[in-house]
Structure 1
Amino acid sequence: MTVPTGVETNRKGVAALWHDPQARSIIYQAVALGLVILAGWYLFSNTLQNLEERNISTGFGFLDRSAGFSISESLVSYEASDTYGRAFLVGLLNTLQVALLGIILATILGTIVGILRLSTNWLVAKLASAYVEILRNIPVLLQLFVWYGVITITLPSPRQAFEPMPGVFLSNRGFMIPAPADSPVYGYMGIAFLLAIVFSFALRAWARRRQNRTGLQFPVFPCSLAMILGLPIIAWLVGGAPIVLELPTLQGFNFQGGINLSPEFAALLLGLTTYTSAFIAEIVRGGILGVDYGQSEAAHSLGLRRVRVLRFIILPQALRIIVPPTTSQYLNLTKNSSLAVAIGYPDLVSVGNTTLNQTGQAIEAVTIFMSVYLSFSLAISVFMNWYNRHIALVER
């Protein structure tokens, strides 16, 4: 029996398409995507059906309802009569505050400890090693409990608070420090500070292009430092140079006025900072050791001091090794901030759990958690990847 010519040609075409690796990979991916969509649709429809059977409302409309609970710490004004959406905003800002301060402090402390581990002083190197080995091998949650206990148990009551310097008080109710009196000048100073940072980056880029074109160096660091310090001072002077400080004063059983760092906030910040800095210290030490020792020998043979060798020769080359793993530590610190619920700090997870218990909107609350932490992680990754490309060695 003979096969028609058209059918034979069609079979050859299908066989040729199937044996084409690129076409076959597209087919596999299309099938995989279809299975994922099918599974997602099944889970979504099954969830909606179960919620409907239990008369559980869905959607984010609950965010407009009155929350009915108070929050102990807030960077923005908040009352119990405000909406759940406002409560989530308070928790979001509290989480962001701890994460940003923790990243900055952990980077500074970890860099210092990592450099000290390579010190030629035996005692200093061993103390730095003990810091790293102890802190990074104790669970971070346990460290939070320890710091919280140290603050709330070992420190005295407000009436017997320590006063290490005038206007600064340490007690089991937190750390109280003076605060500038309300004035619009401080907002202008903040704007001037941000502008100074932007101008510093622009100046650095201009100086680099100028050096590549002419070979002449420009004093970028002194000029940038002068702008960062000078512009806010100029804004302060133009605004009338207010110097009034609001000092904490003991009223009743606690201090009023100034800035109050609660025990929960202080314990969370100290725990996350010390724990993450121990890992960053090892990353910094490994990055420095990853630079060929001949670089240091050549610099020392030119008569450069150790500090200048470290600053201008070793660290710039070590950054390409340090930055990628440090990004992971920043992400870990941000996600570990969710452990604040264990010591009572009102972060996003703590506020969200209270909202979930009152409204029963579990899916919506968890969706908000996932979206916020995913956004934080992606923002940190994008910035650190940009910085990593910016400092990468360029072959000429």
Structure 2
Amino acid sequence: MLHSTSHAPKRGKPIRLSWQDPKLRALVYQALVIVIVLGLAWYLVHNTLHNLSTRNIATGFSFLDKEAGFSIGETAIDYSPADTYGRAILVGLANTAYVSFIGLIWATLLGAIIGIARLSTNWLASHLAALYVQCVRNVPLLLQLLVWYALISQVLPGPRAALHPIPGVFLSNRGLLVPAIEGGSTSAVIIGIVLAVLGTGVATSLRNWTQRRTGAYHTIWPWAIAMLLTFPLLGWGLTGYDLQLDTPHLSGFSFAGGWNFSPELFALLAGLITYTAAFIAEIVRSGIQSVSKGQWEAALSLGVKRSRALRLIILPQALRVIIPPTTSQYLNLIKHSSLAVAIGYPDLVSIVNTTLNQTGQAIEGILIIMCAFLSVSVVISLLMNLYNKRIALVER
């Protein structure tokens, strides 16, 4: 007769009080490293505080409540020189977040297009994409920012001879001007757009769930377009129909109205987007090439168009390879935004530099910059890791 036996999990060997025990040695070494790190940190903090008190330099963050007294040329939130240093630093953080958000979106789109173009069967498209990647990746970003700023401020024409490629859009040495939406219902329209995006995500999840259960595939894009048109219009209607389109127009020697991307902001965005897109393009290319050629052959043999196979079969599998290195590029873009100080855009680093020059609180200012970038980077990493975990293969 056969008897089934169950084996209990093996327990690790207990730690012996002997230097020959590797577990004991590992614990001792780890504790020693922790003591050294804590001792070094205590020495640095104690020495810094002693030197500051010897030189009668005030410490602490009480200066954040004092009046700043300096103006900021471009702000994402309301600010005046009568506001506090804390408000000024918040403006710098908002400017950095604004640039980073726009840069991440456009760098991802441009990088994906160029990465796919590199694998195109069209000789001209693939070689132009390869030329772009090799040229942009091997030129320092700071130099590219200076070139973009020089092109915008020196090469582009003045306001009266501004380039006018699209109705309501002007490009000159004063920057890029586009129509802006104004009115009390602007927030309601934005909420409607957000709800449309969330609704599209829910519809996509339901479609995928239905496809897994029944095998039937339903198109989502008509519903997405319908929601994107309906929800903002509902928000507009429910809040009083006071939404207006403010189109930029020439007024004197400059422009009035619209949404103005200053030369500094436009140059910073152009440099960050084109530079980061070159790296994302290579990540996308390598991710697509990591998928077995058999997947392509199987899709094409079933009569699936190449573009549809790329979108529905290849890219979902390639995302598992694409997401981790793309996260690093997102973090690089956020950190590279600190180079804005070179072209005069008032980001977090620029405003904190002005603050510490006026107050002398250099250590506190540097700590604020470090904590701000660390917090943003941790949030981006957390979100990307959650998405990467969601699309990862589950082993059975």
TM-score, normalised on structure 2?
0.91
Q: Deviations over 1:102-159 (max 9, x none)?
A: 1110110010011111111111111111111111111111110111011001112223
Instruction: Report the 3-state secondary structure (helix = DSSP H, G, I; strand = E; otherwise coil) of the residue aligned with 1:16.
Output: coil
| C-alpha spacing 1:21/1:195, structure 2 compared with 1 (3 Å) | farther
Residue 196 of structure 2 aligns to which amino acid in structure 1? Answer: A
Give the 3 Å change call, closer, same or farther, for CA 388–27 of structure 1 in structure 2.
same
Distance 1:203 1:20 in 2: 58
Task: Look up the SS of the partner of 1:245 in the other structure.
Answer: strand
Give deviations 1:259-295, integer Å, cap 9, x for gaps.
Answer: 1110000000000100110111111111111111111
Matched residue, 1:116: 117
Matched residue, 1:9: none
In the aligned structure 2, how far is the partner of 1:14 from the partner of 1:246?
74
Residue 313, structure 1, aligned to residue 313, structure 2: yes
Alignment of structure 1 residues 49-88 onto 2, 5 Å: 49-88=50-89
**How far apart, in 1, do the equivalents of 2:241 and 2:80 lie?**
34
CA distance in structure 2 between the partners assigned to 1:23 and 1:84 by the alignment: 52
Q: Is the 8 A contact 2:184 2:243 kept in 1?
A: no
Question: Which deviates more, 343-352 or 34-43?
Answer: 34-43
Q: CA deviation at 1:228?
A: 3.7
Q: Is residue 384 from structure 1 mapped to residue 358 from structure 2 by the alignment?
A: no
* Cα separation, 2, equivalents of 1:305 and 1:205: 24
What secondary structure sits across from 1:165 in the alignment?
Answer: coil
- Once residues 114 and 285 of structure 1 are traced to their aligned partners in structure 2, the CA distance between those partners, rounded to angstroms, is 5
Question: 2:283 aligned with 1:254, yes or no?
Answer: no
Equivalent residues in 2 for 1:294-309, closer than 5 Å = 294-309=294-309
Q: SS of the residue aligned with 2:121?
A: coil
- Superposed CA deviations along residues 7-37 of structure 1, whole A, max 9, x for unmatched, are xxxxxx9963544333332232222212211
- 1:351-370 equivalence runs, <5 A: 351-370=351-370
Bigger drift between 172-181 and 341-350 goes to: 172-181
**Quick check: 148-157 or 242-251, which moved more?**
242-251
| CA shift for structure 1 position 43 | 0.8
Shift of 1:201: 3.3
Match of 2:326 in 1: 326
Shift in CA distance, 352/330, structure 1 to aligned 2, threshold 3 Å:
same
Q: Which residue does the alignment assign to 1:154?
A: 155
Residue 86 of structure 1: SS of its match in structure 2? helix
* Separation of aligned partners in 1, 2:298 and 2:203: 30
**Deviation of the 1:240 alpha carbon:** 4.2
Q: How much does 1:76 deviate?
A: 1.0
- 2:162 and 2:247 map into 1 onto residues whose CA distance is 15
User: What is the rounded CA distance, in whole Å, between the counterparts of 2:248 and 2:177 in structure 1?
Assistant: 6
Change (3 A) 1:17 1:202: farther
Percent pairwise identity? 56
For 1:42, the equivalent position in structure 2 comes to: 43
| Residue equivalent to 1:103 | 104
1:151-190 paired onto structure 2 within 5 Å: 151-181=152-182, 183-190=183-190
Q: Which moved more, 1:296-305 or 1:340-349?
A: 296-305
* Residues 66 and 85, structure 2, Cα contact 8 Å, conserved in 1: yes
Listed one character per residue, the Cα deviations across residues 43-62 of structure 1 (whole Å, up to 9, x for unaligned) are 11110010011111001110
Give the root-mean-square deviation of aligned CA atoms.
Answer: 2.0
Alignment of 1:257-276 (within 5 A): 257-276=257-276
* TM-fit CA distance, 1:179: 1.5
Q: Which residue of 2 aligns with 1:3?
A: none
Report the CA distance between 1:256 and its aligned residue.
Answer: 2.1
| Matching of residue 26 in structure 1 with residue 31 in structure 2 | no
Kindly report which structure 2 residues correspond to 1:194-233, keeping only aligned pairs within 5 A, or say none.
194-233=194-233
- For residues 168 and 307 of structure 2, what CA distance do their matches in structure 1 show? 36
3-state SS of 2:157 partner: coil
Q: Which residue of 2 aligns with 1:285?
A: 285
Assess, with a 3 A threshold, how the Cα gap between structure 1 residues 309 and 209 changes in structure 2: closer, same or farther. Answer: closer
- Offset of residue 326 of structure 1: 0.8
Query: Which AA in structure 2 matches 1:361?
Result: Q
Following superposition, the deviation at residue 89 of structure 1 comes to 0.7
Q: Which residue is 2:347 aligned to?
A: 347
Distance change in 2, residues 1:298/1:214 (3 Å) = closer
Cα separation, 1, equivalents of 2:218 and 2:394: 20
**Which amino acid in structure 2 is aligned with residue 281 of structure 1?**
A
- One-letter identity of the residue aligned with 1:73: E
Structure 1 letter corresponding to 2:190: G
Could you tell me how far apart the structure 2 residues matched to 1:382 and 1:74 are? Answer: 28
